[in-house]
């Protein structure tokens, strides 16, 4: 049976340059049952050029799922350059993709290019 990696929190958010994003959180399951103690990797696509990173400026972070199958990436810091940041999550053959933004003045005022304003501050569940 194939595993599923479901985004629980942290998708479609924004942070000011140098600020922290809310945790990027997923649930790993197989056949609806949580998968515990499984490695999940979170990888930032550096092609966006925002300079965002995990602790120590790393572009990749690995964590283990908790007994409930939930895994959260370490703190993601917004880089100095505004723009879109894509973070891929992978575990047990399953994949998910987060999109977050390093905000500029326009984004901080609640107008994200290509998004309805009500989507800017909400996480997808």
CATH topology for 3-107?
Immunoglobulin-like (2.60.40)
Chain centroid to CA 47: 16
pLDDT of 117 higher than 90: no
Residues 110 and 13 sit within 8 Å (Cβ to Cβ): no
pLDDT of 125 higher than 60: no
Domain boundaries, the chain: 3-107
In this prediction the pTM is 0.83
- Beta bridge pairs of residue 26: 7, 71
């Amino acid at each position: 049976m194939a595993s599923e990696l479901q985004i629980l929190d942290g998708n479609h958010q924004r942070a000011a340059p140098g600020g922290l994003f809310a945790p990027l959180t997923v649930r790993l399951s197989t056949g609806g049952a949580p998968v515990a103690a499984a490695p999940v990797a979170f990888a930032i696509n550096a092609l966006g050029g925002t300079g965002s990173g995990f602790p120590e400026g790393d572009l990749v972070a690995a964590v283990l799922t908790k007994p409930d199958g939930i895994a959260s990436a370490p703190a993601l810091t917004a880089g100095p350059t505004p723009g879109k940041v894509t973070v891929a999550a992978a575990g047990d053959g399953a994949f998910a993709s987060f999109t977050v933004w390093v905000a500029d003045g326009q984004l901080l005022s609640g107008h994200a290019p290509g998004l309805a304003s009500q989507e800017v501050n909400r996480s997808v569940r």
